[in-house]
Structure 1
Amino acid sequence: MNIYISGSLAYDRIMDFPGKFSDHILPDKIHILNVCFTVNGMVEKFGGTAGNVAYSLSLLGERPVVLATIGKDYGTYFEWLRKNGLPLDGIKVIEDEFTAGAYITTDKADNQITGFNPGAMKHQTEYEFHAKDAGDSLCLIAPGNLRDMIRYAASCRERGIQYICDPGQSLTQWEGKTLRDWMDGSMALISNDYELELIMKMTGMDKKKLLGLTETVITTVGEKGSVVSTMHSEDFICAAKATDVVDPTGAGDAYRAGLLKGLATGKDILTSARMGAVTAAYAIEKYGTQEHRFSYEIFLDRYRENFGEL
């Protein structure tokens, strides 16, 4: 089965400030704030929703097509994608923009100040699905360019391609009716528990009504695991055991990769969700969203340890 991942590609630039922000911000002068924080250095990591999901899928032996835009500084990211056996034909280069970037500064008290430049993500990818994709493809529509997210859902419905709605960080850009229309006809809606509450508020629909639009609602609940809801059942999937919890960032994207691997190889939704839980465990054991490494054989061993035979 062909797997498409629509979303973003981004560079995460991470900096540490060797003090506390609060020591340098004067409360009575907050209306004229003008502060410079000198950091210890900067580390650049690969990120973005599409990049993160595709990376974990490559570890699981898949070669998904990434549908995203990237800027004129694409060279390093393209080299990384090639190194991991991922195709580039769904990625559109925007020559007059930089790649989307998050600039994250953390102080000694773990407070963060983040600046985000959408850069190339402001532009649409304009990728067209092929006729041969009908009935034999799966598409995850993750946070990225909003017009792409809407168009790909319509294209999937038109061509009979199964798709999963993953609105995540894009929720603040939607309005209720458009969000309802986007989900209508989807294979699944996936979000964390906070995002699900926001979706229900924005659409005016409870979970049961949402299940009239999509076949399955998958809700991640952090270290507790996830909940898989359909019209007929609600099942709790426990989190897989991690050897060490280093950084939860990127666990959600890794979960989606395991879920997609299961669905693409004919597994049922509950087994696929368990595969997502195991993939997420690898992600939280490393700092960064594309730093974990494993082979599919090792993955299968960990799956057995947590859930039995696959």
Structure 2
Amino acid sequence: MNRVDVVVLGTFVADLAFKAERLPVVGETLLGQGFAIGPGGKGSNQVIAAARAGARSAMITRIGQDSFGEMARQTWSQDGVDISHVLVDETAPTGAAFIFVSTKTGDNAIIIESGAAANLSATDVRAAERLIAKANVFVTQFEQPIEAAIEGLRLARSHGVTTILNPAPALPVEDTIYAHCDYVTPNETEAATLTGIDTSTDEGALQAASSLVERGARNALITLGAKGALLHGEAGTHFVPAFHVADVVDTTGAGDAFNGGFAVALSEGQSPVDAVRFGAAVAALSVQKAGTAPSMPNRTEIEAFLRERR
């Protein structure tokens, strides 16, 4: 691959999804109402979303020398993802995630173990500098070590590459990380954790976004679930409504779908507001299917969805 549109630094984990009416309490056993195993991990989900949305995409991560690692390679191969900087770790297994999906609402709860990706280092990221420098957009999260994320953001910005930090799971970080971010994209819960501000109201969400910008981010983009998304910063202040979805099957991976789609639109030169709308369309389509990576829509589906809602 001579040039890439979107480079993602993050994790691959095997998703082990269980469906039930509710989570068990400690000491209780419940009968499930469905089980599936498939590819996941925030970074991998985002790179698959980007690839299916039409971007030349590349992944930077570590996987184990095991069956879950083989699942990762097959997943990326099917969507043409560049894996030249996917490292095989001989000392750690590929990551895995327990996912509970409510049969009543489609909402989810997740426990993740990053596995080999927890060994990603700043040195690994520097080895991928030429790949990052060729990209239009660089994306990372917090499922791998924060030091690796910071190095990726720093390198990308040094080469004029647009940077997106999806701070999930939300962790306490030094404010210096935000200076490397063109866009910080937490959901409302993550934004509240990062800023200490209640984001349950529109005013609170704007205060949280302003706080992230004051800490150094060029733009804060807070996703608000069914309410939409708030973009605030150098791009102005914009509330972008979500698309109504009548049949929600599984919300797992919706945030990853949004970030992958948003990155693709930015890489194509769309305005930030249009890019948010594009990301929202990708997310809306993804929640209508089960699973994470398997639920990501292709470009034809996305464009048809957007045409119908103009």
TM-score, normalization: structure 2? Answer: 0.82
Structure 2 distance, partners of 1:114, 1:268, is: 33
Q: Is the 8 A contact 1:60 1:296 kept in 2?
A: yes
Structure 1 residues 18, 217: closer, same or farther in 2, change over 3 A? Answer: closer
1:200 matched to which residue of 2? 195
Structure 2 distance, partners of 1:105, 1:153, is: 32
Deviation at 1:268, TM superposition (A): 0.6
1:228 matched to which residue of 2? 231
SS in 2 for 1:288: coil
Render the CA deviation track for 1:87-141: whole Å, top value 9, x for unaligned. 2112111122211111346798999886543311220150334458548531011
Structure 1 residues 279, 40: closer, same or farther in 2, change over 3 A? Answer: closer
Q: 2:94 aligns with which of 99, 106, 109?
A: 99
Q: What amino acid is the match of 1:120?
A: A
1:12 matched to which residue of 2? 15
Render the CA deviation track for 1:268-298: whole Å, top value 9, x for unaligned. 1000000001000111001111222644233
Q: 1:83 aligns with which of 78, 81, 102?
A: 78
Q: For the pair shown, which has the larger CA radius of gyration, 1 or 2?
A: 1
Deviation at 1:68, TM superposition (A): 1.3
Indicate yes or no: 2:54 matched with 1:65. no
Structure 1 residues 41, 286: closer, same or farther in 2, change over 3 A? Answer: closer
Structure 2 distance, partners of 1:270, 1:71, is: 39
Structure 1 distance, partners of 2:47, 2:191, is: 24
SS in 2 for 1:97: coil
Matches within 5 A, 1:80-229: 80-104=75-99, 116-124=112-120, 126-127=124-125, 128-131=127-130, 134=133, 137-146=136-145, 147-169=147-169, 171-172=170-171, 174-175=172-173, 178=174, 180-201=175-196, 207-212=209-214, 213-229=216-232
Structure 1 residues 116, 196: closer, same or farther in 2, change over 3 A? Answer: closer
Structure 1 distance, partners of 2:34, 2:120, is: 33
Structure 1 residues 98, 227: closer, same or farther in 2, change over 3 A? Answer: same
Structure 2 distance, partners of 1:106, 1:294, is: 20
Deviation at 1:86, TM superposition (A): 1.3
Q: Is the 8 A contact 1:247 1:285 kept in 2?
A: yes
Q: What amino acid is the match of 1:63?
A: R
Structure 2 distance, partners of 1:50, 1:229, is: 24
Render the CA deviation track for 1:248-282: whole Å, top value 9, x for unaligned. 11111101111111100010100000000100011
Q: Is the 8 A contact 1:11 1:100 kept in 2?
A: yes
> Sequence identity of aligned pairs in percent?
20
Structure 2 distance, partners of 1:238, 1:108, is: 26
Structure 1 residues 255, 120: closer, same or farther in 2, change over 3 A? Answer: same
Deviates more, 1:112-121 or 1:188-197: 112-121
Gaps of 5+ in 1: 26-34
Aligned residues: 290
Deviation at 1:167, TM superposition (A): 1.0
Q: Is the 8 A contact 2:132 2:155 kept in 1?
A: no
Structure 2 distance, partners of 1:243, 1:40, is: 22
Structure 1 residues 21, 68: closer, same or farther in 2, change over 3 A? Answer: same
The RMSD of aligned alpha carbons is: 3.0
Gaps of 5+ in 2: 198-206
